[in-house]
Amino acid sequence: MLSNTILDKLNHQVNLEACSAHLYLQMSAWLISQELDSAAAFFRQHAEEEKQHMMKLFDYINETGALALIGDVATPAPEWKSHIELLEAAYNHELAITKSINDLVDTALREKDYSTFQFLQWYVAEQHEEEHLFGSMLHKARIINTVDGRALFRFDEEVRKSVLHHEHLQQKPMFLQMGPAPKHHEGHDDPHARHQHSCSGH
Ligand code: OFO
CATH number at 40 reads: 1.20.1260.10
Dist. CA 94 → ligand 1 center (Å): 6
Distance CA 43, CA 175 (A): 9
**178 within domain boundaries:** no
For residues 191 and 34, the answer to whether their CB atoms sit within 8 Å is: no
**168 within domain boundaries:** no
**54 within domain boundaries:** yes
Dist. CA 110 → ligand 1 center (Å): 24
* Span between the terminal Cα atoms of the chain, in Å: 27
pLDDT above 70 (res 179): no
What pTM was estimated for this model as a whole? 0.81
At 83-139, the pLDDT tens digits run 999 999 999 999 999 999 999 999 999 999 999 999 999 999 999 999 999 999 999
For residues 198 and 93, the answer to whether their CB atoms sit within 8 Å is: yes
pLDDT above 50 (res 201): no
The tally of domains found in the chain comes to 1
Dist. CA 155 → ligand 1 center (Å): 33
Dist. CA 159 → ligand 1 center (Å): 33
For residues 96 and 198, the answer to whether their CB atoms sit within 8 Å is: yes
- For ligand 1, which residues put their CB under 6 angstroms from it? 17, 20, 50, 53, 94, 97, 126, 130
For residues 20 and 97, the answer to whether their CB atoms sit within 8 Å is: yes
For the chain, give the mean pLDDT.
87
> Which residue type, as a one-letter code, is found at position 132?
H
Of 10, 20, 198, best ligand 1 pocket probe by most atoms within 8 Å of the beta carbon: 20
Which is the closest atom of ligand 1 to the Cα of 53? 3
**47 within domain boundaries:** yes
Q: Say which residue, 15 or 148, is predicted with more confidence.
A: 15
Nearest residue (CA) to ligand 1, atom 4: 17
Buried b (16+ CB within 10 A) or exposed e, 153-188: eeeeeeeeeeeeeeeeeeeeeebeebeebeeeeeee
pLDDT of residue 155: 86
**169 within domain boundaries:** no
pLDDT above 50 (res 181): no
Domain that holds residue 102: 4-146
